[in-house]
Amino acid sequence: MGKLYQYKEISDMKKSIRSKWQITVILVLAIMALVGCQTTSQGGRTVTRDQAQRPLTVYSGTVLRVADVQIQGRETGVGAVGGAVVGGIVGSTIGGGRGRTLATTGGALAGAAGGSAVEQRRATRPGLEIEVELDDGRIMAIV
């Protein structure tokens, strides 16, 4: 009876540790999701380093059309790598033996896809395409 009781205690301890690990992973994912919602813009126009301190040419004309566009930013791959790591960690808490290996691999792949999608969504910004007929008759589209 003593060995069975000890086995049950060890089994309960393993479940408790696994449960704490899962809660930690969920909290890390929640924090990452909240950080992803953070915006860095404090208003005003943002320009690149190359655009700063350069003379601009001003044209006069009539606005013909304004359309909403999405401006794609650069993807660094950090989202995919971070997602793969988190997905692999979460997957490794599932099952045992070969099942755990499959869950870890599946979690890493799903995490990479999800992380990449989040990064792409964060890199994309709304913009405007403005079509202008210049006073000299030329038509220009500006994004």
Q: For the segment 24-57, what is each residue's pLDDT rounded down to a tens digit?
A: 777 777 777 766 665 555 556 777 777 777 888 8
pLDDT over threshold 80, residue 11:
no
DSSP code per residue over 58-83: ---EEEEEEEEEEE-----SHHHHHH
pTM: 0.44
What are the sequence ranges of the domains in the chain?
1-36
CA distance 130 to 124: 19
Q: Which two tokens stand for residue 142?
A: 């500006």
